[in-house]
Amino acid sequence: MSHEKTLYVSVSNKSLDTEASMNEQLEVRGTEKELEKLRQMLEHLQHDDEVTQFRAPIPYKSADHDKATDQFNEDLLKLYQVIYNLGTVETKAHIHNMNILNKLKDTDYEYPGYER
């Protein structure tokens, strides 16, 4: 039987710590294997974030259909899903109240200005 460990996730800092920070307190509990997967996802998201930063200053390139942005959003969705799955009751309630999982799935391409 695997022993579960409690850690705290900071999505904005893309970190996993043994102590809660003052700002973000997404508490998760998981096995070493589950927490390692979460750590790798955070590192991958950091890489995605760096890639999207390089194309951000290009004034004529729209970010809404950019592959790097799409990848970042997809990875962010997966990350929040894993955090939700490993999260405490409070963490799950927080993510539920953020409504982030549904928002990331729902693009706003139906609004005027987007052509299909």
Asked whether residue 112 is domain-assigned, the answer is no
| Residue 55 exposure: Cα atoms within 13 Å on the Cβ side | 16
> What would the pLDDT profile of 46-83 be if each residue is shown by its tens digit?
887 776 665 555 555 555 556 767 777 888 889 999 99
- pTM of the prediction? 0.76
CB 71 within 8 A of CB 10: no
Asked whether residue 114 is domain-assigned, the answer is no
Residue 55 structural domain: 5-105
Asked whether residue 113 is domain-assigned, the answer is no
Number of domains the chain contains: 1
pLDDT of residue 99: 85
